[in-house]
Amino acid sequence: MNVRLAAITAKLTQHLHDVVQEFQVTEDELIKAIDFLYQIGQKNQYLLLSDVLGVSVLVDNITHSSQHHESATANSVEGPLYRNEAPLMHTPANICPEYSGGDILFMSGRILSFEDGRPLAHAVLDVWQTNEHGIYENEDPDQPDFNLRGRILSDENGKFEFRTIVPAPYEIGKTGPVGDLMKAIGRHSWRPAHIHFKVSADGQRTFTTQLFIPNDPWIDSDSIGAVKESLILSIEKCDSPDEMRKRGLDRPFYKSSYDFILHPHRM
Ligand SMILES: [Fe+2]
C-alpha cells in the first residue's frame, strides 16, 4: 500500500466533501464538473489548470525550499513553452538576429556560486521569451525557428550579455476549458511580461526562474501567481546619441542587469 497516496487521497476527499456540503452542490453541477475535467484532459490543459490554481508555483516553492535564502536568486516555474536545444551562443549574444520590431533590450549580469560568490565560467543561461506582441515563436508561424531563445555561455568571468527585445504580457489558455473557467469566475488570464531562464553550470544545481518587466499592468495580479519582488528587473532607457552610436543603433534602447546565484549540488 502507498501510505502517502492514501493519506493525500483521504485529505483531498475530506476537503471535497466539505465543499460539497458547504455549497450544497447539485447533481447538475457535479455532472458539469466531471465534464469540465474531461474537457481539460481532451485539451491537454491539466498543467494550465494547475498553474491558474496556483498549485504549480506552490509545488515549485516547496520543491526548492532548501534553496531559499535572501542572497540566493528566487526560483520560479518553467512553464510549458520551454524548448530543448536552443542555439548555443557565446556572450555577447543576440537572441533576435532577425529584428522585426519592439524595444531593444540588452540584458547582462553574472552567474555566481552561492557557496563562495565566485563567478562561474562557461555556465549556460538558457533563455526564452515572447516577442513584442506577447507570442512565443513556437506558437507563431511568422517568427523564425528559435526566435528569442538561446543558450548563452558565460565568459571566463562568469559574465553574460545578450541582445533581445522587451517582451509583452500575454493571456494564457484563451481558448478551452481553463479560459472558460477564468471568464466564468471573473478572473483575468494575463501574465505580466517576463523572460524565462534556466541556468546550469558544472557542479551546480540547475535552476529555473523568470524575471519580470517592471511597471507591467499585470505585475500585481499574475494569473499564475509567479511574481516575486526580487524577480522584478530594473530597466534603464538609454537615449543619448553617444550610447546609441556605441551600440550601432539608430534608436533608443533599454538595458538591464541581473546576477544569478547558483547552489552547488550538495546543498
Ligand atoms: Fe512565459
For residue range 83-125, list pLDDT tens digits in order. 999 999 999 999 998 888 899 999 999 999 988 889 999 999 9
Please state the pTM of the whole predicted model. Answer: 0.91
Separation of alpha carbons 59 and 233, rounded Å = 24
CA of 194 to the centre of ligand 1 (A): 6
Report how far ligand 1's centroid is from the alpha carbon of 196 (Å).
Answer: 6
Write b or e for each residue in 117-153: b if 16 or more Cβ atoms lie within 10 A of its Cβ, otherwise e: eebbeebbbbbbbbbbebbbbeeeeebeeebbbbbbb
Is 130 within 8 Å of 101 (Cβ atoms)?
no
Record the cell numbers describing residue 209, joined without a space: 526562474
Confidence of residue 156 (pLDDT cuts 50, 70, 90): very high
Ligand 1 centroid, distance to 231 Cα (angstroms): 14
Q: In what order do the strands lie in the sheet with 207-212?
A: 88-90, 149-153, 124-129, 194-200, 207-212
CA of 56 to the centre of ligand 1 (A): 14
pLDDT-derived band of residue 264, with 50, 70 and 90 as boundaries?
Answer: confident
DSSP 3-state helix, strand, coil percentages of the chain (rounded to 5)? 30, 25, 45
DSSP character for 233?
P
How far does residue 137's CA lie from ligand 1's centre (Å)?
Answer: 12
CA of 254 to the centre of ligand 1 (A): 20
